[in-house]
Structure 1
Amino acid sequence: MPQNPLATPGPWDAIADDYDEVTARTLRPFAARALELADPAPSARVIDIATGPGTLALLAAPRVQEVVAVDFAEAMIRRLRHTVMRTGATNVLTGIGDGQDLHYPSNRFDAAFSMFGVIFFPDKTKGFAEILRVLRPGGVAVVSSWAPTAQSPLMTLLSETYRAGIPGYVPRTPDPNGLENPEVLEKELAAAGFTDISVEPFSGSYTFDSVEQLWDAASRGSAPVSLLRARVDEATWKEQEQAMIEYLTANFTPGTELSSTALLARARKPL
């Protein structure tokens, strides 16, 4: 089976700046909730795996002793390093690396996070095992996965928008055997050796003042859309983009609240 292109750094490198400027806004509520669930102590050392531009890492920095932020996309880490220098978050340490093969000692961290990272790992079993390995005994992990599209009005609207403009676009289909199923997510964590597992749905809500603002958020920082755009020439993309904007104009009322739902799993490494 061909590898999912989103499991490789290229698409994420290509959109790193836009992702930070546009998409991080939609992810920040989930990162904030993950920190609430983990509740790390001020003395804690934490690791943020598949950190992207550091959405969670930067939120964690003021409340803990040290944050290690790692991602396989060099451009994402470069963006985060610029932010660290600009903001003076000197307790954020960055690294380029694969979450399935972390180059950090065992039993190193008090808390570990992977926000929408493990879902793209080719070997999720290795990903969960590595999170467990680098945690100290008694340490807590929080990982997230998107819920099925039907549970997220924002994602449902965007899926229909892409289908309206991109010939042959295949919407994300329900996967009862994937991490979007809370029972599967809990089972994977238990199989890795975690205990005290809980999984909760959590929704972030957003409003957009115009169709243009929503389209900007939906397209500019999206790795899947970037891949779709790369498949056609500029003129063709402009035609497709216009069709999608027309769909949004007909089906979205500015100011309407839209939400996206994720599953947040909290688990602990046994003592």
Structure 2
Amino acid sequence: MAEPIYAGASEGYDELFARATQLFIPSLLRAAHIESGQTVLDVATGTGAAARAAMDVVGSSGSVIAGDASPTMLEAARRNLKELPVRLEILDGQELPYPDNRFDAVICQLGLMFFNDPARGLSEFYRVLRNGRWAAVSVTTTAERSLFARIGAVIARHAPEKAEKLNRFFSIPTTERLRSLMGGAGFREVEIQTESRGIEFASFDGYFSGIEKGATLSGQEFVQLSPSVQRRVRDEVRDSLGVPDDGRRLVIEMEVLIGSGRRQSG
């Protein structure tokens, strides 16, 4: 299993990122056709936001298993979900430790693009689904339509040795690519939808402060840069957003693709 990309960066993640990504969770759950009483697997759960939402839908007659490759992120999920009966496990989404036909739904929120082999991960999602059931995933698209991944793209230009890791944000940038991956894994009735939300920050400082503390993958890489390169990255990000000063209100448009597919019955 590859080194978890968010290891050590769960502090500040919820405040910085999860509050934005939560806006897309309802559509993800609808795409997975999650209903009361179902058994759901949440892969790459992060700090547990999608697992919490799924638990709200399935209710006491259903169950949710949530897993992540990062022990640090899973510990944050354990804190966030401590009052809920969600089962938390360390797991590799490309090699799920479950038998065939185990779940009524599989979801993966903004995690698939970081898999070394997304096709293998989707094949695993398909394998553990029951016949006739659905999986749904969400992924980022391009740097210009991302919330914080755009910072990673700037870092990659200033530190090319980091480019391979940071460019994983954009490994599934188009509807066609996601549709091809899901179809190749065996899913039928594949549907891809594009969703955008405007995320508001009181200022550029409010937007960038979490990155300077090392939250998210972009933040992890940012804090390892020299102070002079950090200043250049910060200035370039601010200029790209058209923010003339650090104190002005900022709205960033975040776009994701939500893909869903059904395991063929029979």
TM more than 0.5? yes
Alignment-derived partner of residue 28 in structure 1: 22
- 1:105 paired with 2:99, answer yes
Which range moves more in the overlay, 218-227 or 26-35? 218-227
**Offset at 1:21?**
3.1
Residue in structure 2 matching 1:187, options 180, 189, 193: 180
RMSD: 2.8
Q: One-letter code of the match for 1:103?
A: P
Q: Could you say which structure has the higher helix fraction?
A: 1
Alignment-derived partner of residue 264 in structure 2: 270
Residue in structure 2 matching 1:75, options 69, 72, 76: 72
Distance (Å, rounded) in 2 between the aligned partners of 1:123 and 1:160 = 21
- Listed one character per residue, the Cα deviations across residues 113-153 of structure 1 (whole Å, up to 9, x for unaligned) are 11122211112222011100111111111112211224x17
Q: One-letter code of the match for 1:193?
A: G
- Listed one character per residue, the Cα deviations across residues 150-191 of structure 1 (whole Å, up to 9, x for unaligned) are 4x1745864686479x4658585997xx52121121111111
Identity of aligned residues (%): 25
Residues 153, 97 of structure 1: alpha-carbon distance in 2 compared, 3 angstrom cutoff: closer
Distance (Å, rounded) in 2 between the aligned partners of 1:16 and 1:153 = 19
- SS of the residue corresponding to residue 28 of structure 1 reads helix
- 1:118 paired with 2:118, answer no
Alignment-derived partner of residue 135 in structure 2: 141
**1:1-271 to 2 correspondences below 5 Å:** 7-9=2-4, 11-64=5-58, 65-85=62-82, 88-90=83-85, 92-150=86-144, 152=145, 154=147, 158=151, 162=155, 166=158, 172=167, 178-219=171-212, 220-230=214-224, 232=225, 236-237=226-227, 239-247=228-236, 251-252=242-243, 254-271=248-265
- SS of the residue corresponding to residue 41 of structure 1 reads coil
Preserved CA contact (<8 Å) 2:40 2:103: yes
Preserved CA contact (<8 Å) 1:211 1:248: no
Gaps of 5+ in 1: none
- SS of the residue corresponding to residue 104 of structure 1 reads coil
Distance (Å, rounded) in 2 between the aligned partners of 1:148 and 1:57 = 26
Q: One-letter code of the match for 1:221?
A: A
Aligned length: 253
TM-score w.r.t. the length of structure 2 is 0.84
Residues 19, 138 of structure 1: alpha-carbon distance in 2 compared, 3 angstrom cutoff: same
Preserved CA contact (<8 Å) 1:211 1:245: no
- Listed one character per residue, the Cα deviations across residues 190-215 of structure 1 (whole Å, up to 9, x for unaligned) are 11111010111111221110121011
TM-score w.r.t. the length of structure 1 is 0.82
Report runs of 4+ in structure 1 exceeding 6 Å deviation.
none
Distance (Å, rounded) in 2 between the aligned partners of 1:159 and 1:98 = 24
